[in-house]
Amino acid sequence: MTIVQGIEARGMHHCETTALGVLLRHEGLELSEPMLFGLGSGLSFVYWDARSMPFPFLGGRVKPFELTRNLASRLGLTLTVQETASPRKAWQNVTASIDAGRPVGLQLDSFHLDYFGTKVHFGGHVVAMYGYDEHDAYLVDTGQQGGAVRTGLAGLAAARAERGPMTARNRSFTLALPQRPPSWQDQIVPAVRHCAEAFLAAPIANLGHRGIAKAAKLVPGWLRRAAEPRRDLPQAALLMERGGTGGALFRVLFRDFLDEGARLVGGGGLRTGHRLYAEAAVLWTDVAALIAKAGESGDAAPLEQAGTLLGDLARIEEEAMEVLRRL
């Protein structure tokens, strides 16, 4: 058995921030989960539907691994990424890091992990790996998935090699701090501005506040869109509230980031943004509850209510991001 010593196997809400927390704590940098999410400019929105999809997907964050790249760039971290089509080389990349006493992040498809109770393909899942033996890999996943967990090596290899939406080719990565510890507090406002600008300048109508407005028009028709409403709508609601988001489609994490940022660096704009995202987080939870209710009852009225709230959310989030862009 080979185990990296000194690992604090703390599972948080979101998979990518959980893995980043493990890697950075091992390097000596302790940041809260909302701060990791916010410094990585992680908040976004996408309404994603396609003919090949059984049901639309509402996403509340930037695409997988973009948060990690943003965070590393902003804090001056050395991000070393390895990808390969070779299973043998992929395993060597991981064991070399762990044998050297450094945990490693992995992007993979959660479908193949032994400890996942819900077997759904998601190729953008991220875990931290800190050890292995002849049978199992020792991982840190979200608190919802158990925090410190183990999975068989064959399943891990399949998860890393899976191809499809949001997957990466056996991607592994490590982080290292610069010689001079980063002044991360100085990066709070730039991170907020970057997130706001991207949200407001989204190039297509499925993204950002325009995407939320589009969802407001389309969600009322979800009973007709769903092949199995009693399954599809509650599952969509579950992903919004508990699918690794910290609740309310990542708005809770962003709200808490703005609150922490306002306390650390001050500024009325951050406080205004916090107030508006606190309001938005409550409404997103209400939207999820209405979507679940419609699926369970077969009644379209809750979806009409959800559409109205989504229209309100599009306006609230646009207002919030306009304020934050001007920081």
Query: Residue 118 above 90 pLDDT?
Result: no
Q: Who contacts 11 (Cβ-Cβ below 8 Å, separation ≥6)?
A: 18, 140, 141, 142, 143, 144, 145, 146, 147, 148
Among 159, 152, 171, residue whose Cα is nearest residue 85? 171
Task: Indicate whether 160 and 26 sit together in one domain.
Answer: yes
Query: Residue 182 above 80 pLDDT?
Result: no
Determine, yes or no, domain membership for 234.
yes
Confidence of residue 145 (pLDDT cuts 50, 70, 90): very high
Task: Indicate whether 162 and 195 sit together in one domain.
Answer: no
Q: In this predicted structure, what is the pLDDT of residue 240?
A: 93
- CA 229 and chain centroid, separation: 26
Structure token digits, residue 91: 């395993």
Query: Residue 34 above 90 pLDDT?
Result: yes
Task: Indicate whether 118 and 12 sit together in one domain.
Answer: yes
Task: Indicate whether 93 and 201 sit together in one domain.
Answer: no
Task: Write down which residue in 127, 149, 176 finishes a domain.
Answer: 176
Task: Write down which residue in 176, 199, 231 finishes a domain.
Answer: 176
Q: In this predicted structure, what is the pLDDT of residue 124?
A: 95
Task: Indicate whether 245 and 117 sit together in one domain.
Answer: no
Average pLDDT of the chain is 96
Only one residue has tokens 């701060």, namely 35
Task: Indicate whether 167 and 204 sit together in one domain.
Answer: no
Which CATH number belongs to the domain containing residue 172 in this structure? Answer: 3.90.70
Task: Write down which residue in 176, 211, 236 finishes a domain.
Answer: 176
Determine, yes or no, domain membership for 62.
no
Q: In this predicted structure, what is the pLDDT of residue 244?
A: 75
Task: Indicate whether 193 and 300 sit together in one domain.
Answer: yes
Q: In this predicted structure, what is the pLDDT of residue 246?
A: 82
Task: Give the whole-angstrom CA distance, residue 74 versus residue 190.
Answer: 9
Task: Indicate whether 104 and 140 sit together in one domain.
Answer: yes
Task: Indicate whether 216 and 320 sit together in one domain.
Answer: yes
Q: In this predicted structure, what is the pLDDT of residue 243?
A: 80
Determine, yes or no, domain membership for 163.
yes
Q: In this predicted structure, what is the pLDDT of residue 165?
A: 87
Q: In this predicted structure, what is the pLDDT of residue 117?
A: 81
Sign of the torsion angle spanned by Cα atoms 118, 124, 130, 134: positive
Task: Give the whole-angstrom CA distance, residue 171 versus residue 269.
Answer: 38
- Percent with pLDDT over 90 in the chain: 93
**How many domains does the chain contain in total?**
2
Task: Indicate whether 270 and 163 sit together in one domain.
Answer: no
Q: In this predicted structure, what is the pLDDT of residue 196?
A: 98
| Residue range 225-273, pLDDT digits in tens | 999 999 999 999 999 998 878 899 999 999 999 999 999 999 899 999 9
Determine, yes or no, domain membership for 230.
yes
Confidence of residue 290 (pLDDT cuts 50, 70, 90): very high
Mean pLDDT over residues 159-184, rounded?
93
Determine, yes or no, domain membership for 49.
no
Q: Who contacts 243 (Cβ-Cβ below 8 Å, separation ≥6)?
A: none
Structural domain containing residue 290: 184-325
Determine, yes or no, domain membership for 293.
yes
| Residue range 43-92, pLDDT digits in tens | 999 999 988 788 999 999 999 999 999 999 999 999 999 999 999 999 99
Q: Within 13 Å and on the Cβ side, how many CA atoms surround 281? A: 19
Task: Indicate whether 154 and 268 sit together in one domain.
Answer: no
State which of 34-43, 47-56, 160-169 shows the largest mean pLDDT. Answer: 34-43
Task: Indicate whether 112 and 149 sit together in one domain.
Answer: yes
Query: Residue 119 above 90 pLDDT?
Result: no
Determine, yes or no, domain membership for 151.
yes
Determine, yes or no, domain membership for 216.
yes
Q: In this predicted structure, what is the pLDDT of residue 50?
A: 84
